[in-house]
Amino acid sequence: MSLKFTEVKPPASAATIHEVVNSLGVDESVWIARFWTLYNGALLNDQVLIYSTEEIVERNRTYEVDKDFPGQLLVGDDSGGRLVLIDRSVEDKFYLIDSGDPFLGDAEVFSSVEVLVAHILGEANILADSVGIVAVGKAKATPQEVLAIKKELGLNGSVANLKEKLEKESEMILSGVKAVKYEGVVARYRHLIRFDS
């Protein structure tokens, strides 16, 4: 599924992002900070509002996120009474929860904002039947990660060859596979591999 950005604001400045993430007490590589380098707030598919740098601190205070969900950060809403939270850690995990529900265990959890939006829009088939898995190429894989990816994807090549491929952006790792079969692996190693779009 591709996101449609229907109401977007220009990217936030690096200084503004730095100031807001410090105010929120999160790392600058958290998902929302990366998003602000592209858009300082947006409406996705006419449904999911992602807050701007100007809105986020106030929204987190209003909903008392620190008190009710200390490990989370409120980043948006579904324009219908449900909140979109992410982990304060660098791991990309998105939670959709009713605004009056104080229990994170009741939230629905998604591996990406695209999957969350697709769920909200009621799309059943999020990923195509046959896809490729490519390297992200922005992070260095540990030897353990290279071995785990090799094993979990069922690759026959050498570890050295796979390590080399993982270091190149958009390098094909595995092609013509069923997305459903590999969703878990791609989610676990999303900093290293992704589905080819």
What local confidence, expressed as pLDDT, does residue 152 receive?
A: 86
- Domain-terminating residue out of 91, 121, 151: 121
At 67, the amino acid letter reads K
At 94, the amino acid letter reads F
Q: Are residues 27 and 113 in the same domain?
A: yes
Claim: this prediction has a pTM higher than 0.85: no
Read off the pLDDT of residues 41-80 as tens digits, 9 standing for 90 and up. 999 988 899 999 999 999 999 999 999 898 999 999 998 8
Of residues 108, 86, 110, the one with CA closest to residue 32: 86
Q: Are residues 101 and 186 in the same domain?
A: no
Q: Are residues 89 and 138 in the same domain?
A: no
Total number of domains in the chain: 2
Query: What residue numbers bound the domain in which 16 lies?
Result: 5-121
Read off the pLDDT of residues 13-32 as tens digits, 9 standing for 90 and up. 999 999 999 999 998 899 99
Q: Are residues 103 and 137 in the same domain?
A: no
Of residues 123, 166, 125, the one with CA closest to residue 143: 166
